[in-house]
Amino acid sequence: MAKDGEKGEWKEFIWNPRTREFLGRTASSWGLIILFYIVFYIFLAGLFALTMYVMLQTLDDHKPTWQDRLSTPGMVIRPKADETFEIVYNIHDTESWDMYAQALDKFLGPYNNSAQAQKNDECVPDKHFLQEDSGDVKNNPKRSCQFNRTFLEECSGINDRYYGYHEGKPCIIIKLNRVIGMLPGKDGQAPFVTCGAKREDSEKIGELMYFPPNGTFNLMYYPYYGKKAQVNYSQPLVAVKFLNVTTNQDVNIECKINANNIPLGNERDKFAGRVSFKLRINTNTN
């Protein structure tokens, strides 16, 4: 009997025919609750949409509204075989260095003179190429200056498709990371790259050649206005050719940017503005 009573109570709780209540509430009570939550969630959705709308009005499609201005841009090298920044090969083993030559060929493809002539301008060198907006009128898309592959001369891969790797005189390519609005160099002094061996390898690095001359990043390639505003921008490059590096030994090398308004390193990244890598050229035939 007790079980029958409990069963009856549960049935009455779910649906009470006397009071016409479902789960303890009348139809009007359920209607008011549903109406409240509908209004409440519509309000929340509207508030979220309004917040997003107001925030989006502060954004510029072509330039970040807020930007963590790096005082020192990062540097990268090519070819880059892996994350260890090591260039190791044997002169007599074509497969060991051909991948480096192919990587440089692929990387320099967009810098072919014909490709640059089609999409970029010949600019006045040795001064910043400023393209400011006129108030609310955006000067977009912005033009970009040509950086022709031939500027890299002996490291262009045009006259020597192996980039010197086959004869133990390899080339590496260096570029600065893009920073919107950065104006490296002041008073007409262009930033330039220098490379040297770490202290323990100072006698092993030998003679270096830089292309363009003196390893400079010409001022005409700055400032950079962003990927959307400057769609055809070609980053300037510096090539370094190692003429007589000591063979069959590890040579630890560091390249850095030099400019009168770019400090080397900072509190957050002591390697900012420089890149380190290991170069080893083997000559053994077995």
pLDDT at 173: 96
Compute φ and ψ for 213, nearest 5 degrees: -50, 140
What is the overall mean pLDDT for the chain?
Answer: 86
- Categorize the per-residue pLDDT at 157 as very low, low, confident or very high, splitting at 50, 70 and 90: very high
Q: Report yes or no: 255 and 195 within 8 Å, Cβ to Cβ.
A: yes
Note the pTM of the prediction, 2 decimals: 0.77
Q: What percent of the chain has pLDDT over 90?
A: 57
Strand 251-258's sheet: what is its strand order? 86-90, 274-282, 251-258, 192-197
What would the pLDDT profile of 133-145 be if each residue is shown by its tens digit? 777 767 778 899 9
What number of CA atoms fall less than 13 Å from residue 50's CA on the CB side?
Answer: 6
The Cα–Cα gap between 83 and 277 comes to: 10
* pLDDT band, very low/low/confident/very high, at 31 (cuts 50, 70, 90): confident
What would the pLDDT profile of 199-233 be if each residue is shown by its tens digit? 888 889 999 999 999 999 999 999 999 888 898 99
Quick check: 225 and 63 in contact, CB under 8 A?
yes
How far is 205 from 214, CA to CA, in rounded Å? Answer: 18
42 pLDDT higher than 70: yes
Tokens read off for 225: 């206005």
**Res 28: pLDDT:** 81
- Phi first, then psi: what are they for 100, rounded to 5°? -70, -45
pLDDT of residue 57: 78
Cβ burial of 273 (10 Å; 0-12, 13-18, 19+) is buried
Q: Give the whole-angstrom CA distance, residue 67 versus residue 180.
A: 9
Q: Is residue 266 very low, low, confident or very high in pLDDT (cuts 50, 70, 90)?
A: low
Which of 57, 37, 172 shows the shortest CA–CA distance to 104? 172
Write the Ramachandran bin of 263: left for phi over 0, alpha for psi from -120 to 50, otherwise beta: beta
Q: What CA–CA distance (Å, rounded) separates 195 from 83?
A: 20
